[in-house]
Every structure is written in C-alpha cells, then in structure tokens.
Amino acid sequence: MKLVQETPFRFRIERQAPMRVPGVVFVSRDLMPEEQALQQIVNVATLPGIVGASYGMPDLHWGYGFPIGGVAATDVSAGGVVSPGGVGFDISCGVRLLAADLHREGLVPVMDRLMDDLDAATPRGLGGGGVWRLPGPAQLDRVLREGACFAVRAGHGEARDLDRCEDQGAVAGADPGQVGTRAVERGLLQVGSLGSGNHFLEVQAVEEIYDEAVAAAFGLRLGQVCVMIHCGSRGLGHQICTDHVRAMDKAMIDYGIGVPDRQLACVPVDSPEGRGYLGAMAAAANYGRANRQLLAEAARRAFRQVAGAALALVYDVSHNLAKVEEHDGRRLCVHRKGATRALPPHHPDLPADLAPFGQPVFIPGTMGTASYVLTGVPGGHAFHSTCHGAGRVQSRHQAARSTSGRELRARLEGRGIAVRGSSWRGLAEEKPDAYKDVDAVVAASVGAGLCRMVARLVPLGVVKG
C-alpha cells in the first residue's frame, strides 16, 4: 500500500478507482498498522455517499468490515449509506470515568477488601448474569428506549449523572421493534454486566495533570482515586449487528450497491432497512449506557461501604456508534468504530459546565500501563473524532500462547496492581504487550490535532472480564 506522508502524524492514500474519496491515516511511522487494516481504509472509501476521506485513527488495526479505529461519514441527502460494519458488534461500547473524593494514600489500608467487593459486585464473563435482573420484556423495552435515564429513574444513580453522559444518557430514535427476539432474550439476562475480552473495571490514580484548568472542570486532581469502566451492549448488541448485517447483505442488490467486502454490507440511511438498523442500533446504545450506569452504581456502593468515599461521574462516552450529525450544513451519517467523538469547546451538544473546555475523552491503556483523559479541540479533524485505546498488535490466541494468566497476575501484583480476573486465559489474552504503546498512540493523536491531553491515570487494581 502506497502512503504519502503529509505531516509527521498524517499519511494519505491517494484516491483511485473504485475509491470515491482518499484515505487519511493519523499515525506515526512506528504505529503504522498492518496491510489488512490499510486495505480496509481503502475499502471503506468506496461506500456510496462517503465524504471527505476514509479516516484511520492512531490505534488503527484490522477489524470486521471497517478497521477498528475507522471513521467515515456519508451524506444522507446524496444516497449516503449506513453500514453495521462501521459500528461493530459491540454497539456503543464505551468508557465511563468516575472520580472519588479520596487520595490514593487513603486507599492503601482497604485496597484488598475493596477489590474483593468490586470483584463480587461486577458480573462478567461470556454468559448471563447482571446487576439488574429485569422481570420481563416490558422493562427491557424501557431500557432500550431510555438508556441510563431509565436506570437513574429506577434508583440506580443520580440526576447529575445524566448531564455528564453523551446524549444525556439516551440516544434518540431508538426503536425496540427493530430488535429481534434472540437479541431480546440475550439482553434480559445481562443488564449491568462487564462481559469479557478487553472489558474491565479499573481503580486508578491521577498521576499527572497536563492542563490544570480543564482537569479541575472535569473534577480531577493530582493523586485522586478514579474508577474507569469499559464495556458495551453485550450479547444484545452483538445479535443486533448479526441480524442487520444479514438483512442488508440481501437488500444491497435492490439498491444497486456493490462493495469490495461483504462485511461492509450497507443500505441508504433513509431506506427502510437503514432506518431499521439505526433504530435498533440506538436501542443497543441505550442498553450500553444503562449497563455502564448500573456497573457504576455497584462500584459506588463498594466504595461507600469499604472506603467511605463517594464517586462522581466525570463523563460517559461511546466509541462504537453511527450518528446522524450536521457538519458544514450537511446531514452526515458519521460512523465511528473504535473511535471517540471529541467535541470542541462551546459545541452545542456539551453540558453548560463543560462547554468552555471541550468534551472529555478517555483512552484506556492496558493492565499495567496507563490511561489518558483528553479533550476535544477547535476544528478537530475527522468530524471531531479521535482514538479510543491502545489498539491490539497480537491476537488473543497469540497473547495467551506466549504467557499464562498466573504469570501475568504475579507480575502485575509485584508492581502493586491488584488483579481480579474471571479466568486465567482471559487475563493472558489481555497482557499489556498484546497492545500498542498507549503513550505513543496518545502522542500521535495530539500531534495530529485530534485532541489534547488533560491527565494521565495509572492502575491500582483491575477487575477483568
């Protein structure tokens, strides 16, 4: 793949048929992804109605249809399409950060007990079980329509939480009627659960602050204890993606659409199938918001009981979503897969108290490294988008083959990081060197003008899915 370097952190793939736009990848040479991911950038550039470019974030790597770390927008009024491959199976997977009224030194005497309580209070793994056992489909319907808003109204949180959630806790336009029976069955059993893979609940401390004013506005200070939760819409979201990819794969021929990869199955945004997917996707997104709200409440109870500390929500933001947004006077369907929306200061979608500072963005690293708090910047590229994490460089099989979960936990606990895993293999699959260097990913994101740094967080203890 031929790339032209335009700046130290921006590379261009020139447009050639059947591409409709060029590819733009925000990376350093050291972070350059595998050829398959770059080919996916090219494939995405062929989508009907795509505008600007097919973008790749600094944590770019190969995925289903779109690469993970891919961003693309299509013009709704010009036949632009929506593609479930541009969102992914874990719809509205995202990150929530809570800040404690506690310095890290105050946690030392109770750390083991706290981690045991968090371990017990956080359902996880591949199967069922969640914080909230819904009695039936009627309550699930409300979760799908109202997201974190319904959870808060049911007593799982406080009104302020919704002000600090993307979309105030619920994506508009959710249509549970577009959610299939099997997705409903899976969703009933998993509300308030972490899942598996790279999902986690991590107790952290603020180790470094780069922008005092913005950090203070976010509610962060040096040495403060925080809790970061990374999870999504579980089996419900996965099933919705599966069902709608199948439907679109059959419908594409009716719209005269051809794609270079069937995993890019798509239909016009304003078609019945497009509206159906967006309604189901919004429902899954609301499930994901409620999911993180419930896990946050479980963490709050543990902190209150063990450490006598309160947790305040800093923000909650997704990194797997497609949204119809207005950019330069056009209605665009912006796909962000493994990419975080990073709104600039004074954007109308920001809560009033954050408007002067931009939107909080959270970049989780890996067990044993660090995570970052960033903020959006004026003019941000790629429709106000930035990276979402460190990005894998090894498959889960490769990672598990080269180390054991027991060895990894011993190594981390030797560095003072308490680890509570659901399985030894699950721990091994998530070893730190299976991922890119998160410091380098964030440096490239900042260097490319996608965002700016606010704070760096280090792990004290982790509950792994």
Cα separation, 375 vs 209, in Å, equals: 13
Cis link prior to 18 (omega < 30° from 0)?
Answer: yes
Pairing of strands 418-421, 452-464: parallel
In the predicted model, is pLDDT for residue 126 greater than 80?
A: no
CB 47 within 8 A of CB 74: yes
Q: Write the pLDDT tens digit of every residue in 17-39.
A: 999 999 999 999 999 999 999 99
pLDDT at residue 465, rounded to an integer: 81
On whether 320 is known to bind a ligand per the annotation, the reply is: yes
Query: How high does pLDDT run on average in the chain?
Result: 95
- The verdict on whether residue 319 carries a ligand-binding annotation is yes
Which domains, from first to last, does the chain contain?
4-393+435-464 (3.90.1860.10)
Q: What type of residue sits at position 31? A: L
pLDDT > 90? residue 433: no
Question: pLDDT value at position 278?
Answer: 98
389 is in an annotated binding site: yes
Rounded Cα distance, 97 and 166, in Å: 12
Q: Confirm or deny that 397 is annotated as ligand binding.
A: no
Is 9 annotated in a binding site? The answer is no
Q: Is 204 helix (H, G, I), strand (E, B) or coil?
A: strand
**pLDDT above 70 for 128:** no
pLDDT digits (tens, 9 = 90+) for 352-411: 999 999 999 999 998 889 999 999 999 889 999 999 999 888 888 788 888 888 998 999
Catalytic annotation, pick one of 335, 381, 388, 397 = 388
CA-CA-CA-CA dihedral for 330, 336, 342, 343, to nearest 10: 20
Is 286 annotated in a binding site? The answer is no
Q: What is the pLDDT of residue 131?
A: 83
Residue 127 has pLDDT above 80, yes or no: no
Determine whether the annotation assigns residue 163 to a binding site. no
Rounded mean pLDDT, 420-448: 91
pLDDT of 334 > 90? The answer is yes
Residue 367 is labelled as binding a ligand: yes
Q: Classify residue 272 as exposed, middle or buried by CB count within 10 Å of its CB (0-12, 13-18, 19+).
A: exposed
Catalytic annotation present for 397: no
Q: What is the pLDDT of residue 62?
A: 96
Question: Is 390 a known ligand-binding residue?
Answer: yes
